[in-house]
Amino acid sequence: MTIFKLFLLFSFLSFSFSEETPNHHAFPRPLILEYAELEEEEVSLRCRSWRFAGEANNLSPWKTVPKECAEHVKEYMNGKGYVYDLEIANKEAGEFAKSVKLKEDGLDAWVFDIDETLLSNLPYYAAHGYGFEVFDHAKFDDWVEKGVTPAIEASLKLYEDILNLGYKVILLTGRSESHRAVTVDNLINAGFRDWHQLILRSSDDKGKLAVIYKSEKRSEMEKEGFRILGNSGDQWSDLLGSSVSVRSFKLPNPMYFIA
């Protein structure tokens, strides 16, 4: 069993990573956590704990996957664990959706994020270190414009169930308005249909933290009379803030953090 020094370096950087305009805000000082002479099994356990802390929203804002955990994240994203985590999150969302008695005015809504919620950018991140590389929005824009992002199968099933139950589906994404046409085509080709509204970042939203941008858009939905009963997203910034849903469902994503 190989023994080596493991250093986890977390810099308290806020990486406001929308798919279009990432911003960096440095905190006063870095935090260095040192784990000396850990066995490989211990490293794996530490990285699982790091991933769990991220899913539980217990980590400080982070910029990239820690070097020592890059292989762990790669294995997770390509393994059954990620698939099962997606399935259980979407299954529980579906059970909640079915438990609600909808009103007859057509104003009961479910909000979905797009990237890593409905569509999987795993092919892109496989070529860019599964989150170990610093995010490059120009390269990601080029990927988006290809319009070939596949559906997350468990999310597609939930999406269809939500529609069939009578919810109004509203798509709320950090993608730029300039990507509207390719995003519409990509969604349709991946099997998504009949959404009520697709909201993308306009020029007025440029530079806003995702949690602020999405809160504002949900507030506008409520002013239009919608009752936001459910919300599905892979980032806590999709789900927190103001005008939150009755129930929110966090999908797994250890590859990047959006504030």
Architecture, CATH, for domain 1-259: 3-Layer(aba) Sandwich (3.40)
Lowest mean pLDDT among 12-26, 37-51, 222-236: 12-26
Lowest mean pLDDT among 6-10, 116-120, 206-210: 6-10
DSSP state of 151: B
What is d(CA 192, CA 204) in angstroms, rounded to the nearest whole number? 27
pLDDT score, position 110: 99
Q: What is the pLDDT of residues 131-176, one digit of tens each?
A: 999 999 999 999 999 999 999 999 999 999 999 999 999 999 999 9
Is residue 201 pLDDT above 60, yes or no?
Answer: yes
Give the whole-number percent of the chain exceeding pLDDT 90: 84
The structure tokens 């999709």 sit at: 238
pLDDT score, position 190: 98
Q: What is the pLDDT of residues 99-132, one digit of tens each?
A: 999 999 999 999 999 999 999 999 999 999 999 9
CA angle 58, 62, 63 (to 5 degrees): 160
pLDDT score, position 40: 86
Is residue 13 pLDDT above 70, yes or no?
Answer: no
What is d(CA 6, CA 51) in angstroms, rounded to the nearest whole number? 16
CA angle 181, 183, 244 (to 5 degrees): 120
Domain spans of the chain? Answer: 1-259
pLDDT score, position 7: 35
Distances (CA, A) of 55 to 63, 140, 146, 179: 15, 23, 29, 28
Element (H, E) at 10: strand 3-10
Tell me the two tokens of residue 158: 């939930």
